[in-house]
């Protein structure tokens, strides 16, 4: 009987179920996209590793300290350390497309001296060309981060760039490195070339350290004293993967907010179902009166209308689950993420929908069950 009541009013059922479907789809899409993004972060961390540490001089009262020139060699002596590479800020050197560019139009591109081991240490990849090696590090060659190359509008190895008052040749372009995002906007030159052509003083500004996976904390505790034994308090040691974890926590807070909005949409859909059921009771008074006259009890009438409400919400919940999963899959595919739609989220969405359906149909069902046969038939006349 409950299913029959829905089949007789298909358009109204479709519109009421649509409100429920939108709420469930919103909740599932929010959870699914958040979980897919988290899975992508975990996948990137597994690929890049969480064993990278970054050492840099501290800044206090607007003045920066400096790491000793020997800091890289001293860090390399720590037992669990597997890879060490450094970059050094090259004073006032700027890079331009040509020598005629105004001095102020730098594009915020920082010039850094880089050691040959840098790319392997940070887990970077060359997009075009090649990385600095023992030959190109000695001569005026430069490797650009992808964003730096975009700002300079150069994409072909061999292109000449005006860098620090000297012509440098573009050696390669590096893809963005999630654990070292500063390299994406930098122009990287070899350590010896930076000394010879750009007046680099040889002091590292950042040292990247790869350690054994299970010894990260132990190495982190001794890095400051090893990098600068005289002033260990002027050394900052950070773990780049922690920044990704912090971003994930921020996204989790945003997910909570969006889930609240999805819950509001679901509640609005429940109000729509309740309104539909109240109108259905008013319209079907003759049916109710006839069924009561034929011997149907108040409980049977209530059960019929509660069943209709539950079926209506179940229909909307199922449609919302399919729609939310589809939205998540499409978004994840566009972003290149793995698709993650947790089963508990689907079960919770459908369960909450059924609970809302029971509550939404309860009052109309009680109202219908209280109608006496004579009252219902007289009202229809």
Q: Does the structure show a pLDDT above 50 at 34?
A: yes
Q: To which residue do tokens 């090893």 refer?
A: 226
CA–CA gap between residue 118 and residue 197 (Å, rounded): 20
List beta partners, residue 87.
114, 206
Q: What are phi and psi of 369, to 5 degrees?
A: -70, -25
Tell me the per-residue pLDDT of 8-32, one tens digit each, with 9 for 90 and over.
677 777 877 787 888 888 888 878 8
* Closest to 175 measured CA to CA, from 122, 138, 211, 116: 122
Q: How does pLDDT run across 193-217, given as a tens digit for each residue?
A: 999 999 998 999 999 999 888 888 8
Please name every residue paired with 60 in a beta bridge, in sequence order, or none if there are none: 63
| Run of H or E including 296 | none
Continuous H helices in the chain: 2-7, 10-48, 71-76, 118-122, 146-152, 191-198, 216-227, 240-283, 285-293, 298-335, 343-370, 373-380
pLDDT band at residue 381 using 50, 70 and 90 as cut-offs? very low
| pLDDT score, position 26 | 80
Place of tokens 């149907």: 296
Q: What is the dihedral of CA 328, 329, 334, 338, to 10 degrees?
A: 100
**50 touches 212 (CB < 8 A):** no
Of the candidates 330, 255, 254, which has an alpha carbon nearest to the alpha carbon of residue 30?
A: 255
Displacement of CA 302 from its chain's centroid (Å) = 47
Res. 243: pLDDT tops 60: no
CB-CB contact of 154 with 170 (8 Å): yes
pLDDT higher at 138 or 135 = 138
Output the six-digit token pair for 357. Answer: 């359906």
Is the pLDDT at 2 greater than 90? The verdict is: no
Q: How many CB atoms within 10 Å of residue 247?
A: 12
Higher pLDDT, 160 or 268: 160
What percent of the chain stands above pLDDT 70?
Answer: 79
What is the separation, in whole angstroms, between the first and last Cα of the chain?
Answer: 23
List CB contacts of 170: < 8 A, sequence separation 6 or more: 129, 141, 142, 143, 144, 154, 156, 157, 158, 159, 160, 161
CA distance 144 to 127: 10
Average pLDDT of 43-53? 75
């Amino acid at each position: 009987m409950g299913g029959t009541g829905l089949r007789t009013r298909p358009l109204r059922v479709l519109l009421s179920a649509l409100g429920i479907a939108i709420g469930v789809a919103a909740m599932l899409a929010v959870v699914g996209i958040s979980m897919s993004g988290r899975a992508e972060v975990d996948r990137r961390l597994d690929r890049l590793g969480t064993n990278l540490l970054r050492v840099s001089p501290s800044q206090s009262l607007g003045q920066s300290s400096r790491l000793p020139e020997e800091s890289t060699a001293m860090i390399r002596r720590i037992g669990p350390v597997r890879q060490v590479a450094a970059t050094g800020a090259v004073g006032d050197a700027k890079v331009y497309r040509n020598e005629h560019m105004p001095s102020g139009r730098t594009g915020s591109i920082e010039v850094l001296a880089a050691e040959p081991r840098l790319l392997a240490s940070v887990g970077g990849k060359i997009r075009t060309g090649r990385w600095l090696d023992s030959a190109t590090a000695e001569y005026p060659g430069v490797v650009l981060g992808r964003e730096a190359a975009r700002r300079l509008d150069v994409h072909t190895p061999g292109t000449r760039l005006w860098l620090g008052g000297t012509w440098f040749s573009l050696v390669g372009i590096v893809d963005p490195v999630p654990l070292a995002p500063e390299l994406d906007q930098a122009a990287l030159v070899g350590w010896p070339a930076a000394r010879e052509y750009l007046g680099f003083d040889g002091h590292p500004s950042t040292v990247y350290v790869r350690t054994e996976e299970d010894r990260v904390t132990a190495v982190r505790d001794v890095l400051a004293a090893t990098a600068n034994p005289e002033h260990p308090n002027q050394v900052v040691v950070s773990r780049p993967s922690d920044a990704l974890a912090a971003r994930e926590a921020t996204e989790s807070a945003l997910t909570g907010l969006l889930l609240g909005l999805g819950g509001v949409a679901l509640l609005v859909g429940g109000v729509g179902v309740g309104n539909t059921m109240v109108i259905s009771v008013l319209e079907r008074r003759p049916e109710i009166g006839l069924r009561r006259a034929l011997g149907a009890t108040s409980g049977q009438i209530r059960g019929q209308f509660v069943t209709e409400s539950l079926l209506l919400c179940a229909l909307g919940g199922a449609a919302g689950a399919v729609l939310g999963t589809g939205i998540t899959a499409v978004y994840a595919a566009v972003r290149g993420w793995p698709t993650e739609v947790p089963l508990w989220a689907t079960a919770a969405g459908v369960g909450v929908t059924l609970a809302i359906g029971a509550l939404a149909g309860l009052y109309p069902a009680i109202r219908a069950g209280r109608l006496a046969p004579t009252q219902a038939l007289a009202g229809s006349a």
